Amino acid sequence: MNIAIINGPNINLLGIREKEIYGTCAYVDLLNKYDEWAKNLGIEIKAFQSNVEGEIVNFIQEAYFDKFDGIVINPAAYTHTSIAILDALKATNIPTIEVHISNVNEREDFRKFSYIKEYCIKSIVGKGIEGYRIALEEMKKYLEETKWVI
């Protein structure tokens, strides 16, 4: 089972930016946690982060051709602006779970709208970096239950 973990703009600044909102875990430490969680779940992962919308779209398309079984995505600011990311997810038809470190539903009004939410099988918000672990667990469960993985 192969799952892509995609992060959008400024996630690479975890541990530096707005610690009161995003916590103190550095991005490199989050990458190490991904590896630990994947090992414990018996899955393969590939992590990707970009501040560039088109690179995220390209990676989603590559995930299709590389036959990834699922995507966990935190599009960050592109959540509220990117129809292109939504269209890439729809076009590739890879099961996707949306993650947000902060509770976007309790923040500024513009953060409450997500373009990709309509495509995702689940959204996990406000759980901090543990949201990614939850998303990986939920994706594995979903793929096993639906027998999506060939």
Active-site residue set:
22, 100
Q: Sheet containing 2-7: give its strands across.
A: 44-49, 2-7, 70-74, 96-100, 122-125
What whole-number distance in Å separates Cα of residue 91 and Cα of residue 63? Answer: 12
Q: Which of 70, 65, 83, 92 minimizes the C-alpha distance to 6?
A: 70
Specify the DSSP element, H or E, that contains 49. Answer: strand 44-49
Which amino acid, one-letter code, is at 83? I
The angle subtended at Cα 91 by Cα 2 and Cα 113, nearest 5°, is 90
| DSSP β-bridge partners for residue 96 | 71
- Is 109 exposed, middle or buried, given 0-12, 13-18 or 19+ CB atoms closer than 10 A? exposed
